[in-house]
Amino acid sequence: MSNLAVLSLKNRALIALVTIVVAVFGGLALTSLKQELIPSIELPVLSVVTTYPGASPEVVSNDVSTPIETAIQGVPGLESTTATSTTNASIVRASFTYGTDLATAEQKITQAINRITAQLPADVEPNVVSVSIDDFPVIQIAVTGYADADTAQATLQSTIVPDLQDVDGVNAAQVVGGVGQRITITPDQTALAERGFSQQAITDALDQNGVLFPGGEITEGEQTLTVQTGAKITSVDDLSALPLVPTDAAQVAAGTTTIADVATVELQADPVTSISRVDGEPALTIAVTKLPSANTVDVSRGVLAALPGLESSFEGATFTVVFDQAPFIEQSIESLALEGLLGLVFAVLVILVFLLSVRSTLVTAISIPTSVLITFIGIQAFGYSLNILTLGALTIAIGRVVDDSIVVIENIKRHYVRGADKTQAVLLGVREVAGAITASTLTTVAVFLPIAFVGDLTGELFRPFALTVSIAMAASLFVALTIVPVLAYWFLRPGKPVTDADGRSIDPEDPAAPPSGLQKRYLPVLRWTLAHKAVTLVLAAVVLVGTGFLAPLMKINFLGDSGQNTLTITQEVAPAASLEAEDAAAQRVETALEGVAGIRTVQVSIGSTGSALRDAFSGGGAGITYSVTTDTDADQEAVRRDVQNAIADLDDVGTVSVAASGGGFGSSDIEIDVTAPDGSTLQEATDAVVTALDARDDIGQVTSNLSDSLPYIAVSVDRDAAAQRGLSEVAVGGLVSNTMQPRSAGTVEIDETSLTVYIAAAQRPLTIDELGALSIPTATGIVRLDEIATVAETQGPTSITTVRGQQTATVTVAPDGDDLTAASAAVNAALADAQLPSSADAEVGGVLTQQQEGFAQLGLAMLAAILIVYIIMVASFRSLLQPLLLLVSIPFAATGAILLQIVSGIPLGIASLIGVLMLIGIVVTNAIVLIDLVNQYRRKGLDVADAMIAGGSRRLRPILMTALATIFALTPMALGITGHGGFISQPLAIVVIGGLVSSTVLTLLVLPTLYALVEGARERRAARRGAPAGGDAERVSATASGSAGGSSAAAHAGASAPHGDDAAPASRRKYRREHPES
């Protein structure tokens, strides 16, 4: 690797040009990177959404959900399926393994459903829907202040939405909460009977008109014209004028009969099924999504820039942004960038304090921005975006990328003294450490290799993080071996030669070199530990074991709270509550929220979630959903608690739940999956679980998706009575269905808008008594419905959820705070106390399962990383034993990490474990730095004790220097001084800082003791056999001998032993005799 330095010094102008080009292209890459909150993730989930109007949950489950769930079981890559059946809707959720090609899976599911189309009810069309981060709105705008909702909606659809879709990067803009239109045909049964027609004649007229047929071509003269038969229906009048086709002579003789003669045809608004308000005013919402390749921040800015003009064109309306991803993204990125810059300044100050040279410090500091700019180029090349994970990785890496340059510049500075040839001094300085810094960089990069094999959400999120750190580290090595030597050649001044007590020039690494002030303080402590090995190792073991006992005091979570200034509140009123009842309950909650400090905007959607995407997955009628926007500077956790307190005392508002924040990656709620063979047992088991959980410590709100039974009207046909009148159960059911709900009869296009045509009954029963009195035509005459059927109110489930055919319910538990361990312990204790039916079962899931799976996979990744590091060290030291001694650094790094986690109160989560993974590579590097030089001294003749004292004193400064540079670079992030964007980076920084502190102490005190104990024994055994001490190839590698100048920058100091050959130990006198040039 030192050949790079040779090439660089021979082409200094080229290196300068390359540096400028890197800066330019890095800057361009930075400005062109997409800005997002998190990496774009395609969740391996497909949902089959089916609407079945007028069907109860049991009917939906039997006729739709179960056949679909059964049909898709053979799709490759399928992990699990869950079917949820509610009134009017079925949702079958299929989860796949990460890495599955969802496009192919979607095709396979569609094919499987097509094969069972004949088994599904008529007019039921299942839709396969996939979910990506890009499918969620970037920005949502509420429109209020309009006088007429229909006019406002028409204006939005015709003017505002097209203009928004013209904004660069916008994929779609959709109006949510509006009321559509339909054409309703209401037959006059008397008029139909007088003219001898049935209602089917109207349906036939609609089916047989307004259809275009191709008729071939006619060539006449110089033109070839296509023939088209038929004309589209373009208005309500055209529809009304459609003739009914006569079927007998009397109808023909009576003349033409149109639909208008036997029915009324009207253009009507769709029934109102949802209500939307913003801060108490009626509102329509525009949801804007972006293209997958678009920049979230740019799209938001473009939409915001267009709003003033759009608002002015819509007289009387007010446009309010109720949700916007961009401000939080910008705030998070700016905060991380600020913390990174502060860390850079702190790292540079640490270097300056140790080197006491402005020129050396500047040359070293240049490696940081250069490495970062190269990393930006790499991020863009791999197609990643600038988000809190990639930027957090860069911020974390700032303290580490400077290490290689520190090593190189310090070693160059040691060799470049007055009288030395500049070129040779630079080359010698680089050559001595090139192998060592390459090995140390490979060690740090290698620990991230196992991340490539981590699956699930953890792997998807942190793979860009690992790649970013790896690119930054590789860039720092490149800079240290190419750019830093050239800058050192141009800017460094020769230093003062090191002299011994007699004034003779001496190699700074000579054991007899005079010690520095820092070394004078360290050497007595080192000598004491070497003289009291047993005490030192026992104390170290006590610290290690004691920290292990303290580990349970740590809080544990999954991903933590992002601090995003949005809240989602859901409200469920009584089952089968009318829209008016839900509206009244929602107004009470809105009034309570008005008094909560820190809330800026409250958007409520009644009968809808306020999002078309979420509506698709919830089947539409989703109760009441509140989207609350808070002040960006407010304490989001405090606001959430205030909201919970404000609504806790409300009566007669149903169940109100405040969603726990999951860092933008999902909910942090614990879920308990209850399974049972039948509905009644499931209800009993779910009630028992909820009862056991209520009033438990460390647990917040407890809710269940298996709510009270849903009342409905059951029409039970008396099959015998119906058969006596010439009717079957299906025939009676069809008559009731056609009477109670309009029947779709096709679509027509009017004013470029597709409208559905419905045929409705003239007088729909409005009460149970009126339904019982419904007239049913039979072969024996008209009879009342209650003469051939029982009509009564009964109870049924509000929804039916099955997993591979078995009924399930979900109990959701919100942790009371950020400690998932305490909450999970309380949940497990409650489940142990719950009295479940023998045939029922309850299992913990949700965020707890995600956390356990993530921890398990990262645990395996750590073991793999340790193995990789061990292999690298074996290759470097050519020894199986010495790398094992160095690996002791890892558990001692954990002691500092655990203690700092406990002191700071920051929970241990996935981000913390990524920090531990990174720590493995960092702390072992410091141990390599020390033992590498100790082996060099032993090979040159020193015994173990003398070599350890000499090596420890000379590696003191570079070890402290690199450790403190990293610690101070991460300090702003660990403190979270900006207060934003730190839910990933802060716990990671705390782990690295704590681990570095403890591992540095270990490297300087405990590792020398352990090394002296093991290698000293081997040395004594070798001496008894007459073998030379410390000279075998097993202990000293070629790489180590090539880096005798010090892989850590050749510390400028010596041992504190008396100077002169007479006063030195025999091993040192031997060293001086064999190396007189020193």
Higher-pLDDT residue of 412 and 509 is 412
Highest-confidence range of 185-189, 736-740, 857-861, by mean pLDDT? 185-189
Task: Tell me the per-residue pLDDT of 908-951, one tens digit each, with 9 for 90 and over.
Answer: 877 888 888 888 877 787 788 788 778 888 888 888 888 888 88
Query: What percent of the chain is predicted at pLDDT more than 90?
Result: 2
Least confident of 227-241, 815-829, 995-1009: 815-829
Cβ neighbour number for residue 687 with a 10 Å cutoff: 16
Mean pLDDT of 665-692: 78
- pLDDT bracket for residue 507 (50, 70, 90): low
Q: What is the dihedral of CA 81, 86, 89, 95, to 10 degrees?
A: -10
Residue 520 predicted with pLDDT over 80 = yes
d(CA 197, CA 201) in angstroms, rounded, equals: 6
Mean pLDDT score across all residues of the chain: 80
pLDDT of 1078: 44
pLDDT of 1048: 34
pLDDT of 1057: 36
- pLDDT bracket for residue 709 (50, 70, 90): low
From residue 651, give the alpha-carbon distance in Å to each of 279, 573, 711, 812, 832.
21, 11, 22, 22, 32
- pLDDT bracket for residue 245 (50, 70, 90): confident
Residue 755 predicted with pLDDT over 70 = yes
pLDDT of 725: 85
Instruction: Decide if 625 contacts 612 (C-beta within 8 A).
Output: no
- pLDDT bracket for residue 1029 (50, 70, 90): very low
Token pair belonging to 720: 């015998």
Mean pLDDT of 447-470: 79
**Triad 1059, 1063, 1068: Cα angle to 5°:** 80
Cβ neighbour number for residue 1034 with a 10 Å cutoff: 12
Burial of 435 (0-12, 13-18, 19+ CB in 10 A): buried
d(CA 388, CA 369) in angstroms, rounded, equals: 19
From residue 731, give the alpha-carbon distance in Å to each of 283, 717, 744, 1017.
43, 10, 18, 96
Least confident of 665-674, 758-767, 787-796: 665-674
Higher-pLDDT residue of 953 and 1072 is 953
Task: Tell me the per-residue pLDDT of 832-887, one tens digit each, with 9 for 90 and over.
Answer: 888 888 888 888 876 677 777 778 888 888 888 888 888 888 887 788 888 888 88
pLDDT of 1058: 36
Residue 252 predicted with pLDDT over 50 = yes
Instruction: Decide if 602 contacts 626 (C-beta within 8 A).
Output: yes
pLDDT of 1038: 36
Instruction: Decide if 489 contacts 413 (C-beta within 8 A).
Output: no
Higher-pLDDT residue of 419 and 585 is 585
- pLDDT bracket for residue 622 (50, 70, 90): low
- pLDDT bracket for residue 25 (50, 70, 90): very high
Mean pLDDT of 727-732: 85
Mean pLDDT of 586-596: 86
Question: Would you call 596 helix, strand, or coil by DSSP?
Answer: coil
d(CA 192, CA 878) in angstroms, rounded, equals: 100
d(CA 263, CA 600) in angstroms, rounded, equals: 51
Instruction: Decide if 389 contacts 464 (C-beta within 8 A).
Output: yes
Residue 99 predicted with pLDDT over 60 = yes
Residue 666 predicted with pLDDT over 60 = no
- pLDDT bracket for residue 1050 (50, 70, 90): very low
- pLDDT bracket for residue 450 (50, 70, 90): confident
Instruction: Decide if 582 contacts 633 (C-beta within 8 A).
Output: no
Q: Catalogue all structural domains in the chain, each as residue range(s) with its CATH number.
A: 1-32+357-494 (1.20.1640.10), 33-133 (3.30.70.1430), 182-269 (3.30.2090.10), 503-548+867-1025+1033-1055+1068-1078 (1.20.1640.10), 565-660 (3.30.70.100), 711-796 (3.30.2090.10)
Q: What sections of 38-101 are H helices per DSSP? A: 57-60, 66-71
Higher-pLDDT residue of 817 and 771 is 771
In the chain, the amino acid numbered 3 is: N
Task: Tell me the per-residue pLDDT of 277-307, one tens digit each, with 9 for 90 and over.
Answer: 888 888 888 888 888 888 888 899 999 999 8
pLDDT of 964: 86
**Triad 81, 87, 90: Cα angle to 5°:** 25
In the chain, the amino acid numbered 203 is: T
Least confident of 111-115, 476-480, 511-515: 511-515
Helix (H) or strand (E) holding 401: helix 388-415
Task: Tell me the per-residue pLDDT of 105-134, one tens digit each, with 9 for 90 and over.
Answer: 889 999 999 988 888 887 788 888 877 777
Residue 648 predicted with pLDDT over 50 = yes
pLDDT of 24: 92
- pLDDT bracket for residue 1071 (50, 70, 90): low
- pLDDT bracket for residue 377 (50, 70, 90): very high
d(CA 71, CA 114) in angstroms, rounded, equals: 10
Token pair belonging to 56: 């109860």
Residue 1027 predicted with pLDDT over 60 = no
